[in-house]
Amino acid sequence: MQLMREKGAAGGGLRERKKRATRAALAEAAVRLAAEHGAEKVTVEAISAAAGVSVRTFFNYFDTRDDAFVVIDADAGARMRRAVLDAPAGLSPLEVLRGALAAELAEAEQQHELWRLHAEVLHASPHLLARGVGAHMAAEAELAEAIAERLGDAGGGIYPRLLAAVAGTAVRTSVDHWSAHQEEAAFLDVFHEVFSLLAAGLPAPPA
């Protein structure tokens, strides 16, 4: 019952640290139990017991049982926003996103082991995969805003939202492909290949 990368806001009082620890313990217990028994077989009671809290407390941390499998990094949106706004002026919006996402993902990949387990669990039940998408959509909306802001008057139409949505899709597709062909390629290589395809307008591959 520990772990914690203390990513965004570190430290704080004992209270906050305990909250973080409890949340992390619940999330980790959920993923490990799901990896072992299958997500559908894992009850809230089991997760709570494994994390050493009551069922009622589980629901103080997650609105839904499934939320425990889907880990949302609430600070990611804000970080990406800054990355988009601070990027060099010369870059195209797509290049800006490629950079911001690559940086974010490189960091996430350090938690390699738990990340893999995660991907495994989500992949095993499409139901949860969809929920993961939902979790990303809030971040995508924030991304779209940042892009629109960066573009100024030119960002009034559908372009920012499309770009953010496509970028999110690119990430998910990359993760999906990588987790199915883990031995063949490094994740970031897959990711960059995907963005190259997007930048080229998704041309037909050579026969």
Partner DNA sequence: GTGCATCTTTGCATACCATGCAACTTATGA
Partner DNA sequence: TCATAAGTTGCATGGTATGCAAAGATGCAC
Q: How far is CA 164 from the centre of its chain?
A: 14
Other C-beta atoms within 10 Å of 70: how many? 23
Mask 55-74, x = binds a second copy (CB under 8 A)? --------------------
Residue matched to tokens 């573009």: 151
Q: Rule CB under 8 A: say whether 200 interacts with a second copy.
A: yes
Residue of 126, 114, 134, 117 whose CA lies nearest to 34: 117
Measured CA to CA, the distance from residue 178 to residue 17 in angstroms comes to 34
Q: How far apart are CA 78 and CA 33, in angstroms?
A: 31
Give me the long-range contacts of 124-132 (CB less than 8 A, separation at least 24): 124/34, 124/38, 124/39, 125/38, 125/39, 125/40, 127/66, 128/39, 128/66, 128/69, 128/70, 131/66, 131/67, 131/69, 131/70, 132/70, 132/172
Stretch that binds a second copy, among 30-38, 52-60, 74-82, 165-173 (CB under 8 A): 165-173
The two most distant CA atoms of the chain are separated, in Å, by 61
Q: Does 131 bind DNA (CB under 7 A)?
A: no
Q: Which lies closer to DNA via its Cβ, residue 65 or residue 79?
A: 65
Binding mask of the shown chain, residues 119 to 138, with x at each position contacting a second copy by CB under 8 A: -------xx-xxx-xxx-xx
45 interacts with, out of a second copy, DNA, none, CB within 5 to 8 A per kind:
DNA
Say whether residue 9 binds DNA (CB under 7 A): no
Give the pair of three-digit tokens for residue 79. 């970080």
Q: Out of DNA, a second copy, none, which partner does residue 186 contact, by CB within 5 to 8 A per kind?
A: none
Binding to DNA (CB under 7 A) within 34-93 occurs at 42-45, 52-57, 59-61, 63-66
Q: Which residues bind a second copy (CB under 8 A)?
A: 92-94, 126-127, 129-131, 133-135, 137-138, 151-155, 157-159, 161-163, 165-166, 168-170, 172-174, 176-177, 190, 193-194, 197-207
Q: Which residues bind DNA (CB under 7 A)?
A: 13-16, 18-19, 22, 42-45, 52-57, 59-61, 63-66
